[in-house]
Structure 1
């Protein structure tokens, strides 16, 4: 079940890519695009939260830590120190 949850979490990012890459180039009206984008966002959120439910609390918290501001700050500092050394 945890593998299925992880797959669902990864798949939940596909609608975002569709919105960014495919929707602007579709030959449909602006009204239809305006309806398609929120629909895709809702689908992405539903798939994401289903994946979180299947993965479990512990793994969800670990995943959350990787996307925290503090984690990105640590990565940025490591990257910055590497650049300074060169």
Structure 2
């Protein structure tokens, strides 16, 4: 079940890529594209959350920790600022 959950989480990014890169290039009317985009977004969200439930609480906590904006910002700051040398 955990492998299926990981697959669903990874798969959930595919509809977003399709929305950004494929849908604008499709020879469809604007109204059809306007219907397709929310459908793909809902599919992506459902796949992500079902996958997260299947993976479990520990993985969800780890995922939340990695995507915490404060933690990301601290990591970026560490990369940008060089360490001061003490003589």
- Structure 2 length-normalised TM: 0.89
RMSD: 1.3
1:35, distance to aligned residue in structure 2 (A): 0.1
Structure 2 segments unaligned to the other structure (5+ residues)? 83-87
Structure 1 segments unaligned to the other structure (5+ residues)? none
Q: Which has the larger radius of gyration?
A: 2
Structure with the larger helix share: 1
Deviations, residues 9-59 of structure 1 (Å, cap 9, x unaligned):
010000000000000000000000000000000000110011011000111
4+ long deviations beyond 4 Å: none
**Map of 1:2-81 to 2, 5 A cutoff?**
2-81=2-81
1:81, distance to aligned residue in structure 2 (A): 2.0
